Amino acid sequence: MLSAFTAPGQFYRGNLHTHSTLSDGCLAPEEVCRRYRAEGYDFLSLTDHFVGQYGYPLADTRAFQSDGFTTLPGAELHSGRMENDQLWHILAVGLPHDFTPPHAPGFLPVEGQETGPELAQRARDAGAFVSIAHPHWSGLTLADARSITAAHSVEIYNHGCAVGCDREGGGHVLDLLLSEGRDLTLIATDDAHFTEPDHFGGWVMVKAEANEPDLLLAALKKGEFYSSQGPEIRAIEMDDETVTVTSTAVSSIILQGHGQAATAIHGHSMTRGVISLDRFRASEWLRVTVVDAAGKRAWTNPVIFG
């Protein structure tokens, strides 16, 4: 089952994809942290572009922590050529401050550098929570996605990509990988640069016993979180016949699985819904999406059977 709803502790709201003036954002790291703290976030990972033209920045935000607000070190890593000849974008949260940079002088792939899969594996081996960033925006192919075997997660929603180019998602890539047997979670992020309204639009709700970096990172790796644009998911219960979803008021509750397996119920101000598992007997995984009256969504991580 989904341990996010049974593990001890409470939910903490955080953004895992953010940029500052250390790379191509327009606000200084301290101001980025101040704004997220003022908006009511519990934690933030500042993930500037880890390339040579910016001096391979790995922001040290520990000075900006305060009571009720913490930070996780991180970076958006780049190296290697995807199938469309573009550079890889790989999100690494919890990356050690002494992580050795790749040979990535800028935003174009160069000969002789690490591949994306090699860099992702090195980040995971160093202790990071690794995610495939904005698959739709990147033009990711399924072969590209398959190659990142070190990924913990896939961005299902990227608010900056939604605002900037209507290429917000990664659900298609995620579901195909799940159907191939991959054990993956999903995250919603901002990818905020503060150069457009690309902030405070997608986040994770992480279940931990305290708002501390090590506990948050461990919970991310265990999948003890859900992702949202607004709705809160309160509980997920499953038996042999049904899935029961408890949430804040929503208009739709959707259950998704392998291939064409999908079922939805609709209503007004629903806070509880029960969905039959009849269409999912052959599916080795399930996940839940809820949608509120404003069209804002929240997503559980997949339940993977076997």
Let me know: does 25 contact 57? Beta carbons within 8 Å: no
Q: How many domains does the chain have?
A: 2
Helices (H), 131-238: 135-138, 142-147, 159-165, 171-179, 213-222
Residue ranges of the chain with per-residue pLDDT less than 50: none
pLDDT in tens, 31-60: 999 999 999 999 999 999 999 999 999 999
Q: How far apart (Å, rounded) are the C-alpha atoms in residues 189 and 137?
A: 14
Q: Which domain holds residue 270?
A: 233-304
For residue 81, give the DSSP letter.
B
Q: Are residues 87 and 199 in the same domain?
A: yes
Q: How far apart (Å, rounded) are the C-alpha atoms in residues 232 and 290?
A: 9
Q: Are residues 7 and 30 in the same domain?
A: yes
pLDDT in tens, 158-197: 999 999 999 999 999 999 999 999 999 999 999 999 999 9
Q: How far apart (Å, rounded) are the C-alpha atoms in residues 236 and 166?
A: 30
pLDDT in tens, 195-210: 999 999 999 999 999 9
User: In this structure, what token pair is assigned to residue 52?
Assistant: 């040579």
Q: Are residues 130 and 270 in the same domain?
A: no
**Which are the contacts of 210, defined by CB distance < 8 A and separation ≥ 6?**
9
Q: Are residues 68 and 48 in the same domain?
A: yes
Q: How far apart (Å, rounded) are the C-alpha atoms in residues 238 and 279?
A: 15
Percent of the chain with pLDDT over 90: 98
pLDDT score for 1 = 63
pTM listed for this prediction: 0.97
* Residue pointed to by tokens 């990509």: 161
Amino acid symbol at 290: V
